[in-house]
Structure 1
């Protein structure tokens, strides 16, 4: 019988991948890690029983998490990434030539090392870019002790269990707010809303207490089954979420970036949410 990887998404709903070629499996200091090859998804990374990323569709998640805030801001120089040890998000951030410094804080060095070895197409050499500083630390601890300020903070975390649980707390979002430069933007991974609506609702409550402007945007990532992937958005500059299409188009053209998923039109449309999400976050009128 062919080996399978079963992801227990929620009670009564599983997702199964055939393991066409096992590549690596270990228990790191923080979590169980497995990397394997699947005929449709390419190489797959799973942590503690949850698929994190696949070669086939990672570009959707990483392009949207990076390009939406950076192009909306229009003047990003310093970026902080919490998590993101596979390197895909770092790769997309660094495609913006005007960025001068990226600090990546990852709690588990093993994730970075093993992804550089087994999923090199994710980072594509990004960790060797001289603009990058990698810090092996707990994200919350780093935020509490740094004096640095960032134009964009990106939380590319696992779901709110184990080491990542604190990254969905009000004190974490408050720490992010303290570390944002004026007019800065926080973007967070907030799960698949249809199955994880409590995550979205909880983040909305905290955002509303801390930021002048907050919302969510979404993208369809096939690996994350159950609906669209939801990203949190928080800033003290309401204008940034309302950037017009002409300005976004001009910024995107100047960037010289060739994307596989992101477009300026999709950028604006991604903030249009289904009514059930609007109801859950207390924005029933859209």
Structure 2
């Protein structure tokens, strides 16, 4: 008899996975953590019943969360990753040969431990890279204590704005992000699926707009984030970071050492992802 794991994100709509085996389960001080072996998507990480990553399609989210802001900046050397305890974004950030320091701040040490043990291919060698610094702690405090201009890019790989992730979508957090970013700094954060979570994108975009001259979003298609396109929220101090032709993106990717290493990201997709369907663009307009 087939065992099924059902996602508990939306009350009226969802998805389920045929489960071959439960690999690990833990209850941390912050959330319920489950890693299981699916019949279709390899191993799956769920937090509080919501899919965070699968081995089959993790590359879509990780590539677009890391490569878009770093290549848009063009010379990012110091990068902060907030959340991302599976290590996938850290691994993509460290693919960029110009990155000298990458700090990952994850509040839940059990997410890191279980990912290292049961999803080793996600983070790969990033955990041992001498340029990486892994901090188990509260990103709000870490950012508040960081010096002004400490980072060139901030990538917020958090859960949705509820529970442990809620504080990462506030005006106070975006104000501090703007302070610790350099003059051409860029911040991105997962913005949910606008078809189902449009109000979340609208609120977070309005809060970013108070501190970043260029506030926008770009779209990615992750099969296991149900509901259509996922939006990645974008805030940049320099609007020129977003206005890049594919040829310039390709030049930067070649110089960074990431060209030809991806399965979703391309220079054309990078540039085109900022062209939003009207129903997504509507979520960026003030209510």
Give the TM-score band, short-chain normalised.
over 0.9
Q: Judge which range, 140-149 or 46-55, deviates more.
A: 140-149
Q: CA deviation at 1:211?
A: 1.0
1:150-196 per-residue CA deviation (whole Å, 9 max, x = no partner) reads: 00000000111111111111111111111101101001111111111
Q: CA deviation at 1:23?
A: 0.3
Tell me the equivalent position of 1:207.
208
Contact 2:194 2:283 in 1 (8 A): no
Corresponding residue SS for 1:250: helix
Counting only pairs closer than 5 Å after superposition, residues 103-252 of structure 1 correspond to structure 2 as 103-147=103-147, 149-252=150-253
Contact 2:97 2:257 in 1 (8 A): no
Q: CA deviation at 1:254?
A: 2.4
Q: CA deviation at 1:107?
A: 0.1
- CA distance in 2 between partners of 1:76 and 1:264 (Å): 18
- CA distance in 1 between partners of 2:64 and 2:222 (Å): 10
Contact 1:9 1:15 in 2 (8 A): no
Corresponding residue SS for 1:151: strand
Whether 1:273 and 2:269 are equivalent positions in the alignment is: no
Q: CA deviation at 1:9?
A: 2.4
Counting only pairs closer than 5 Å after superposition, residues 9-48 of structure 1 correspond to structure 2 as 9-48=9-48
Q: Judge which range, 4-13 or 211-220, deviates more.
A: 4-13
Corresponding residue SS for 1:12: coil
Corresponding residue SS for 1:171: helix
Q: CA deviation at 1:280?
A: 2.4
Q: CA deviation at 1:2?
A: 2.5
Corresponding residue SS for 1:248: helix
Q: CA deviation at 1:145?
A: 1.4
1:224-265 per-residue CA deviation (whole Å, 9 max, x = no partner) reads: 010111101101101000012221111112233211111000
Corresponding residue SS for 2:191: strand
Structure 1 residues not aligned, in runs of 5+: none
Count of residue correspondences: 284
Counting only pairs closer than 5 Å after superposition, residues 68-87 of structure 1 correspond to structure 2 as 68-87=68-87
Tell me the equivalent position of 1:93.
93
Contact 2:65 2:232 in 1 (8 A): yes
Q: Judge which range, 110-119 or 147-156, deviates more.
A: 147-156
TM-score, normalized by length of structure 2? 0.96
> What is the root-mean-square deviation in Å for CA atoms of aligned residues?
1.3
